Structure 1
Amino acid sequence: MGQFRTTPVDRVENISKADFIKKYYKPQKPVLITGLTKNWPAYKKWKLDYIQQKAGDQIVPLYDNEPAKDKESVYAPVKEMKLYDYIEILKTQPTDLRIFFYNILHKMPELLEDFEYPDIGLKFFKKLPALFFGGGKSKVFMHYDIDLPDSMHFHFDGDKSVTLFSPEQTKYLYRVPFSIHNVEDIDMDDPDFKKYPALQYAEGIRAEMQHGDALYMPSGYWHSIRYLNGGFSMTLRALPRHPARFAHMLYNVFIMRHIDNISRKYRGQKWLDYKDKLAIRRTERNLDLKKHSS
């Protein structure tokens, strides 16, 4: 077992639009901004108690740390419960149960009054502001977003750790074909370099987030997330502007995803095992090329 080589993310308290575009957006480099939300009503109001009071009666789907197997849908929740009861769990005990992509616009539109879309150089897609909730045992597997957005990720009422890898690191990460994640057997908190030797060459960026922090995640960046205690986050997304990346996004959403869903429906675990073997074979081929070129 081992630890990834990581460097801390750049941290700034505030940044101008011009500097953000020059230093981070154009070079596609992550940055954590600590002061971006401090003038929002959300900075004072967005705590678990507040969400609980606003929408406690809503029934929400919950997911855990176990990957879907065989013909199980990755979008199928493990259980449902009232949001009030789920938040009570977050406040009182560690849990791996989490809420994935809670659409603010549809589920709690009054929250739109509590924040603003930052004028920082990103053209945000305003139809999909989303919340994500997790507890002290919750993990989000290593993945990149299927629509390849430039994202601003805001965290509230808790602490979380985010590990990022640039698209250039994909060759070492055992990316599963027709998917947006790597081999799910890999523990990103304690990687097994003997079983997955290419991982030791991957270089990541680590961000430790607290209440009100905003993390810029460039398009196509891999990220794994670990909640350190109960809390929630909001993601605002900007669609990719570069024509090649926009075309890649369309392929992911309208072709790749459907190929994977259909293959999984008819072949089940055999399809998943085939993809994992292919991911390992391709990644270790990249490792051999690296060794021969060194």
Structure 2
Amino acid sequence: MKNSNNEFMSVERISSPSKAVFNKQYGFASRPVLITGMTDNWNAMTRWTTEFFESRMGQYEALASRSRDRKDKKQMKVREYFSYMRNSTDNDPYYLSNCQFHLKTDMTADYTVPDYFISCLQLMEDKLPLQFRLSWMFIGAANTYSALHLDIFNTSAWNAVITGRKLWLFYPSEQARYLYNGNVNPFSPDLEKYPEFSKAKPLVCVQHPGEVVFTPSGWWHAVLNEEGGISITENFINETNYDIVRATLAHYQKTEEARIVDECMTRYLVEENNASLLI
């Protein structure tokens, strides 16, 4: 990775914070953080092996796309992709991202979401189509990456690495003017085409198995798989980003997705207000 200014700052690392500590120092403060210890009791850390995915989940299909040439896409079965990972010499390998087959299986019992990441969307989880539950598996070969982006509806997100290693770059909203609406590749920037990107100064962290990264609402970020592997990510809406997401939804046409998210948020607000009256 190259950046002309070489001015990088590390994302803070903490161990299993309480909800009060997390919300005060990171959630409401809108600060990325890497959390250790959160997955210590997850069955996923031992169960979700390559063998498990190939034998138990191998029949499921998902869309694989190249990281640089994002128009090059194709459907691949999970077992087919793991074979591809082992044998590929592609310079721009396919990435099996945004998979949701885990929501159709017992895999959701293999991990526990801490209370500070619980989303108001779970109030209607049984009624939500899979694509609206904002929970995804990522299976990526080395050198695949997620391009520079903001998360859907300005939600926050957490990501847990099961296997592999990820490099994260975070850019706060005040640096958006240097990011060319996400068109620049921050891992190998073309500074002749995107000269203002040289002024961007990211927060950086390297994430290993068992570690969880928190992405706050409104932060641009890009993620590189330095080693191929498996991860799970979920976007969420709660008290720390409710106002930001609600304001963002106001700028969308009333698509089905926006309507459902808005309905969940309204129900969440009513239930939170009712709960406060009982205290």
Q: TM-score, normalised by structure 2?
A: 0.77
Shift of 1:105: 5.4
Residue deviations 1:208-250 (CA, integer Å, cap 9, x gap): 1111110000012111111112212111221264435413135
Q: 1:253 to 1:160 in 2, by over 3 A?
A: farther
Q: 1:244 to 1:135 in 2, by over 3 A?
A: closer
Q: 1:44 to 1:251 in 2, by over 3 A?
A: same
**Quick one: which of 214, 221, 228 aligns to 2:226?**
228
Shift of 1:80: 2.1
Shift of 1:39: 0.8
Shift of 1:65: 1.9
Aligned to 1:209: 207
- Give runs of aligned pairs for residues 247-286 of structure 1, distance below 5 A: 247-252=247-252, 254=254
Aligned to 1:30: 32
Provide structure 1 residue ranges, at least 5 long, that are not aligned to the other structure.
Answer: 70-76, 176-181, 258-294
The 2-side partners of 1:159 and 1:244 are apart by 31
Question: Structure 1 residue 166 and structure 2 residue 172: aligned?
Answer: yes
Residue deviations 1:40-78 (CA, integer Å, cap 9, x gap): 111221222222221112233211123456xxxxxxx62
Q: 1:146 to 1:50 in 2, by over 3 A?
A: same
**Helix, strand or coil: the match of 1:193?**
coil
Shift of 1:120: 2.4
The 2-side partners of 1:33 and 1:92 are apart by 33
AA aligned to 1:226 is L
Aligned to 2:8: 6
The 2-side partners of 1:103 and 1:92 are apart by 25
Identity of aligned residues (%): 24
AA aligned to 1:137 is N
- Give runs of aligned pairs for residues 176-187 of structure 1, distance below 5 A: 182-183=182-183, 186-187=184-185
Provide structure 2 residue ranges, at least 5 long, that are not aligned to the other structure.
Answer: 123-132, 258-279
User: Cα RMSD over matched residues?
Assistant: 2.5
CA contact (8 A) 1:9 1:206 kept: yes
Shift of 1:13: 2.3
Aligned to 2:275: none
**Helix, strand or coil: the match of 2:107?**
helix
Higher strand fraction: Structure 1 or Structure 2? 2
CA contact (8 A) 1:40 1:116 kept: yes
Q: TM-score, normalised by structure 1?
A: 0.74
- The number of residue pairs the alignment matches comes to 241
Question: Structure 1 residue 16 and structure 2 residue 22: aligned?
Answer: no
The 2-side partners of 1:105 and 1:158 are apart by 19
- Worse overlay, 229-238 or 211-220: 229-238
- Worse overlay, 5-14 or 118-127: 118-127
The 2-side partners of 1:167 and 1:85 are apart by 39
Aligned to 1:275: none
The 1-side partners of 2:223 and 2:142 are apart by 11
Aligned to 1:88: 83
**Quick one: which of 115, 137, 141 aligns to 1:131?**
137
Q: 1:237 to 1:68 in 2, by over 3 A?
A: closer
Aligned to 2:246: 246
**Helix, strand or coil: the match of 2:8?**
strand
AA aligned to 1:188 is P
The 2-side partners of 1:194 and 1:132 are apart by 32
Q: 1:250 to 1:41 in 2, by over 3 A?
A: farther
Shift of 1:21: 0.9
Q: 1:227 to 1:254 in 2, by over 3 A?
A: farther
Question: Structure 1 residue 120 and structure 2 residue 116: aligned?
Answer: yes
The 1-side partners of 2:112 and 2:253 are apart by 28
The 1-side partners of 2:195 and 2:76 are apart by 41
Q: 1:59 to 1:246 in 2, by over 3 A?
A: same
Q: 1:221 to 1:104 in 2, by over 3 A?
A: farther
Shift of 1:92: 4.5
**Helix, strand or coil: the match of 1:137?**
coil
Shift of 1:174: 1.4
